[in-house]
Structure 1
Amino acid sequence: MAYMHRVHSSEIQTGLVPVVSVPSAIPFIVGTAPVNMADGTCNKVKYVQNYAEAVKEFGFVPAKSDASSGLKKYEYSISEFIYSQFQLFGVGPALIVNVLDPATHKSTATTTKVTLDTKNASVTVPETGIILSSITLSSSSGSLTAGTDFLTAFNDNGELVITSLKDQDGDFICPTGTELTFAAEKCDPSKVTTNDIIGGVSTGSDGLEIKKGMELVEDVFPLFGVVPGFILAPGFSDNSTVATIMAAKAVSINEVFRAICLCDVPTNTVKSYTAVSNWKNTNNIVDPAQVLCWPLLQQDGVVYHISTQLAALMARVDGNNSGVPYESPSNKTLSATGMVLADGTEVALSLPNAEHLNSQGVVTGLNFIGGLKAFGNRTACYPSNTDPKDSFIPIRRTMCWISNTIVLTCWQFLDKPLNRRQVQTITNTDQVWLNGLVAREYLIAATIEFREDENPITDLSDGISRFHLKVTPPSPNRDIEFIVEYDPTALSALFS
Structure 2
Amino acid sequence: MAYQHGVYIQENPTSIIPPLTANSGVQVVVGKSPIHLTANPSEAVNKPIIAYSWKEAVDNLGYSEDWKSYNLCEVMDWNFKRVGVAPVIFINVLDPKKHTAAGTETQAIDNGELTIETKGVLLDTLAVKSQDGVTSYTKNTDYTVAFNDGGFPVVSVLEDGAMATTNELQLEFDVLDPSLVDEADIIGGYDLAIEEYSGMELIGQVYPRLGIVPGLILAPGYSHKIDVATVIDAKSELINGSFNCMNVLDIDSATVTSYQEAPSWKNNNAYTSNRSIVGWPKVKIGENMYWMSTVIAGLTSYTDARNDSVPYVSPSNKPLPINGTVLADGTEVFLDQTQANFLNGNGIVTAININGWRLWGNNTAAYPSTTDPKDRFIAIRRVFDWWGNTFILTYFQKVDEPSNYRLIESVVDSENIRGNGFQARGQIAGARIEFRQEDNPITNILNGRIQFIQKIAAFPPAENIVNVLEFDPTILENALLGGGQ
TM bin (shorter chain): over 0.9
Q: 1:495 to 1:406 in 2, by over 3 A?
A: same
1:428-439 alignment to 2 at 5 Å? 428-439=413-424
Partners of 1:37 and 1:158 within 8 A in 2:
yes
Partners of 1:29 and 1:233 within 8 A in 2:
yes
1:165-176 alignment to 2 at 5 Å? 165-167=158-160, 173=164, 175=166
Q: Which of 104, 122, 125 lines up with 2:116 in the alignment? A: 125
Q: Give the C-alpha shift of residue 134 in structure 1.
A: 2.9
Q: Which of 392, 396, 400 lines up with 2:381 in the alignment? A: 396
Partners of 1:62 and 1:157 within 8 A in 2:
no
Q: Which residue of 2 aligns with 1:33?
A: 33
Q: Which of 67, 81, 94 lines up with 2:75 in the alignment? A: 81
Q: Which residue of 2 aligns with 1:23?
A: 23
Distance across 2 between alignment mates of 1:247 and 1:312: 18
Query: Which amino acid is the alignment partner of residue 308 of structure 1?
Result: T
Does 1:104 find its partner at 2:98?
yes
Q: Which residue of 1 aligns with 2:367?
A: 382
Query: Which amino acid is the alignment partner of residue 13 of structure 2?
Result: Q
Q: Which residue of 2 aligns with 1:483?
A: 468
Q: Give the C-alpha shift of residue 174 in structure 1.
A: 6.5
Partners of 2:131 and 2:168 within 8 A in 1:
no
Q: Secondary structure at the match of 1:184?
A: strand
Q: 1:492 to 1:261 in 2, by over 3 A?
A: same
Does 1:458 find its partner at 2:458?
no
Q: Give the C-alpha shift of residue 4 in structure 1.
A: 4.1
Q: Which residue of 1 aligns with 2:395?
A: 410
Could you list the per-position Cα deviations for residues 340-368 of structure 1 after superposition, in whole angstroms to 9, with x for gaps in the alignment?
A: 11212111111111111111111111112
Residues paired across the two proteins, number: 475
Of residues 389-398 and 303-312 in structure 1, the stretch that sits farther from structure 2 once superposed is 303-312
Q: Which of 112, 127, 136 lines up with 1:136 in the alignment? A: 127
The unaligned stretches of length 5 or more in structure 2 are: none
Q: Secondary structure at the match of 2:247?
A: strand
1:27-426 alignment to 2 at 5 Å? 27-38=27-38, 39-40=40-41, 41-63=44-66, 73-109=67-103, 112-118=105-111, 121-140=112-131, 142-167=135-160, 173=164, 175=166, 178-204=167-193, 209-369=195-355, 371-426=356-411
Partners of 2:119 and 2:151 within 8 A in 1:
yes
Q: Give the C-alpha shift of residue 490 in structure 1.
A: 2.4
Q: Secondary structure at the match of 1:234?
A: coil
Q: Give the C-alpha shift of residue 384 in structure 1.
A: 0.6
Partners of 2:143 and 2:163 within 8 A in 1:
no
Q: Secondary structure at the match of 1:197?
A: helix
Distance across 2 between alignment mates of 1:396 and 1:341: 29
Could you list the per-position Cα deviations for residues 178-208 of structure 1 after superposition, in whole angstroms to 9, with x for gaps in the alignment?
A: 5533343211111111111111123235xxx
Q: Secondary structure at the match of 1:453?
A: helix
The unaligned stretches of length 5 or more in structure 1 are: 64-72
Could you list the per-position Cα deviations for residues 441-493 of structure 1 after superposition, in whole angstroms to 9, with x for gaps in the alignment?
A: 00011111112222222212222111111111111111111110111222331
Q: Secondary structure at the match of 1:144?
A: coil
Q: Give the C-alpha shift of residue 130 in structure 1.
A: 0.8
Partners of 1:149 and 1:174 within 8 A in 2:
no
Q: Secondary structure at the match of 1:127?
A: coil
Could you list the per-position Cα deviations for residues 403-439 of structure 1 after superposition, in whole angstroms to 9, with x for gaps in the alignment?
A: 1111111111111111111111001111111111000
Of residues 150-159 and 83-92 in structure 1, the stretch that sits farther from structure 2 once superposed is 150-159
Distance across 1 between alignment mates of 2:412 and 2:109: 73
Query: Which amino acid is the alignment partner of residue 366 of structure 2?
Result: C
Query: Which amino acid is the alignment partner of residue 334 of structure 2?
Result: A
Partners of 2:137 and 2:163 within 8 A in 1:
no
Q: Give the C-alpha shift of residue 6 in structure 1.
A: 5.5
Distance across 1 between alignment mates of 2:440 and 2:333: 56
Q: Give the C-alpha shift of residue 10 in structure 1.
A: 4.2
Extract structure 1 runs of 4+ deviating beyond 4 A. Answer: 6-10
Query: Which amino acid is the alignment partner of residue 94 of structure 1?
Result: V
Query: Which amino acid is the alignment partner of residue 83 of structure 2?
Result: F
Distance across 1 between alignment mates of 2:149 and 2:360: 34
Partners of 1:74 and 1:303 within 8 A in 2:
no
Distance across 1 between alignment mates of 2:65 and 2:150: 6
TM-score, normalised by the number of residues in structure 2? 0.93
Distance across 2 between alignment mates of 1:349 and 1:477: 22
Distance across 2 between alignment mates of 1:273 and 1:219: 38
Q: Give the C-alpha shift of residue 140 in structure 1.
A: 3.3
Query: Which amino acid is the alignment partner of residue 215 of structure 1?
Result: E
Q: Secondary structure at the match of 2:118?
A: strand
Distance across 1 between alignment mates of 2:189 and 2:377: 31
Distance across 2 between alignment mates of 1:200 and 1:334: 36
TM-score, normalised by the number of residues in structure 1? 0.91
Q: Give the C-alpha shift of residue 3 in structure 1.
A: 6.6
Q: 1:183 to 1:348 in 2, by over 3 A?
A: farther
Query: Which amino acid is the alignment partner of residue 454 of structure 2?
Result: L
Q: Secondary structure at the match of 1:223?
A: helix
Distance across 2 between alignment mates of 1:224 and 1:452: 39
Identity percentage over the alignment? Answer: 37
